[in-house]
Amino acid sequence: MNIRTISALCPLVLTLFLAPRPAAASEGKLNVVFLDLCSTRADHFGTYGYPKNTTPNMDAAGKSGVVFENALSEGSWCLPSYASLLTGHVPEVHGQYTSLPARKLPDFETTLAQMLKTKGYKTALFSGGVYLLPEWGLSKGFDSYVDLFSTSTPNRIPAPFKDNFDQILSWMKQNKGQDQPFFLFAAIDDLHVPYHVDAKDDYDTGYQGVARDTDVFSVPFARAYNGEPSGYPEYMKEKVKEFKSDPKHLKHFIARYDAALHQVDGKIGEFLKAMKDMGLDQNTLLVISADHGEMLGEKGKLNHTEGLYEPVLHVPLIIRHPEFADRAGSRVKAQVQRIDLMPTILDFADVPYSGLELQGKSLLPLLQDPQAPWREYAFARSKRNLARLTDLNIDERVVRTSCWKLHHYLYKSAYELYDICSDPLEASDVSRTHPAEVSRLSFELLKNMEFSRPHQPGLPSGAKKALLEPQPPKD
């Protein structure tokens, strides 16, 4: 931790961080491992209260680290979420809002990997999904880059974690004993449809029905199920009709999701054991999160093609750091966002970043004191991926407090308001009975739209390029 960062923290945190630190960290050898699970909702983890035994290994990681109970994604699908994580900026700034037309990351953006390289980090990214292909420009700063997704794959199915597993372990073994620390980012796509799992019936044995059809576990089926006007062949409507005819089909759909989550949790358990066997648990910052979640029938929706409801936005976040052993098992209730993770990691790596105009806040104060003052409002947005021209009117935005959440959808005629403390799955819109909250939160949403977006291409201030070195104060 450098003095620039420490001086901005409260006196308690200042005292704690000036205390002696483990040798590995003081020598600048703190590695960073980030496991990012696509389409993974927090409320299906045991550590977030799910009654089924889906995530024993990640739950154990939470017990040895810090669990953030209210972590929010920046959007509802992969590309903007990855771009926000790796740049520390909201989609209005980095522009990775849409996949049509395809747009590379702007030149003014500096990625987390590029910043870590300034401190000598070796960097690697492993993925199996379409939105981390080099075409999007998010590979900037990675020395090693492996994405197993192929556009020639039938139905464009992402590759599961197990396909990258041996390469990832090999890369870690190669780099663990080097003088340079490393940053490993692994995007795990098992929970993206079709929900990669071998034992599909583990959570719903004996099922027979339409939910065994591979078409059901696809984005086109979700679009048809959600009542979207296009993006699927006409025959999907008949399958949707059959699927909706009996609740047992949705029950099996959810069971397959849980089975896939349990299977990938097992693989993550193998990975964490391999880390420990290599001695990396003593000098590695571990982050487990998700780029976004998944709708599983709530609000009459599947997948994540429409809506910014809690199953999509509320994501897991577990941080384990060897210096914070005394915080093991603690839980943080404050609203945090994925844009907070870049400044957090850079602070741990002792990398200055004042010129980047990052829009998140380092989580260090919350890691030291879960009750530390934090943001009152969190925001998310989606313009969807514009896979069809009919998506052009899709503009979705939400503002969230500890208990209230306001939705604004360009294609709907009114705001939606939910009390997520008493109604966490947003079943009952209370906008008509709480007009004062609608007024207050809609004003905050409008302010955020104005503050967060640049009015010309570039950083929030309008600068064309980040200032990577601290600047002298003006007279």
Q: Domain spans of the chain?
A: 28-386
**Residues linked to residue 162 through DSSP beta bridges, in sequence order:** none
Share of the chain above pLDDT 70, in %: 88
SS3 417: strand
pLDDT digits (tens, 9 = 90+) for 425-446: 999 999 999 999 999 999 999 9
More confident residue, 58 or 383: 58
Given a cut of 80, is residue 13 above it in pLDDT?
no
Arithmetic mean of pLDDT, 341-366: 96
Given a cut of 70, is residue 387 above it in pLDDT?
no
pLDDT digits (tens, 9 = 90+) for 84-114: 999 999 998 998 887 766 678 999 999 999 9
Residue type, 53: N
What pLDDT is recorded for position 241?
98
More confident residue, 376 or 464: 376
Q: Omega into 311 within 30° of 0, i.e. cis?
A: no
Q: For strand 295-296 and strand 284-290, is the pairing parallel, antiparallel, or unpaired?
A: unpaired
* Residues 234 and 224 sit within 8 Å (Cβ to Cβ): no
Within 13 Å of residue 109, how many CA atoms lie on the same side as its CB?
28
Given a cut of 80, is residue 294 above it in pLDDT?
yes
Given a cut of 60, is residue 14 above it in pLDDT?
no
Residue type, 309: Y
Positive/negative CA dihedral, 326, 330, 334, 336: positive
Alpha helices in 307-401 (DSSP H): 310-313, 341-348, 364-368
| Average per-residue pLDDT for the chain | 89
What pLDDT is recorded for position 395?
83
What pLDDT is recorded for position 2?
41
Q: Omega into 343 within 30° of 0, i.e. cis?
A: no
Structure tokens at 303: 């997948």
Positive/negative CA dihedral, 198, 201, 206, 212: negative
SS3 126: strand
Given a cut of 70, is residue 388 above it in pLDDT?
no
* Residues 469 and 352 sit within 8 Å (Cβ to Cβ): yes
Virtual CA dihedral for 286, 403, 372, 291, nearest 10 degrees? 20
**Residues linked to residue 400 through DSSP beta bridges, in sequence order:** 378, 405
More confident residue, 457 or 265: 265
Q: Omega into 457 within 30° of 0, i.e. cis?
A: no
Which backbone phi and psi does 436 adopt, to 5 degrees? -65, -40
Positive/negative CA dihedral, 114, 115, 118, 120: negative
What band does 472 get if pLDDT is binned at 50, 70 and 90?
A: low
Arithmetic mean of pLDDT, 170-175: 96
Arithmetic mean of pLDDT, 376-389: 75
What band does 219 get if pLDDT is binned at 50, 70 and 90?
A: very high
**Residues linked to residue 284 through DSSP beta bridges, in sequence order:** 31
Burial degree of 422 (CB within 10 A; 0-12, 13-18, 19+):
exposed
What is the chain's percent helix, strand, coil content, to nearest 5? Answer: 40, 15, 45
Domain 28-386 has CATH 3.30.460.10: no
Query: Under 8 Å CB-to-CB from 311, ≥6 apart: which residues?
Result: 41, 43, 293, 294, 295, 296, 298, 425
What pLDDT is recorded for position 389?
46
The CB density around residue 49, as the number of other CB atoms within 10 Å, is 11
pTM, entire model: 0.90
What band does 244 get if pLDDT is binned at 50, 70 and 90?
A: very high
In angstroms, the CA 210 to CA 236 distance is 12
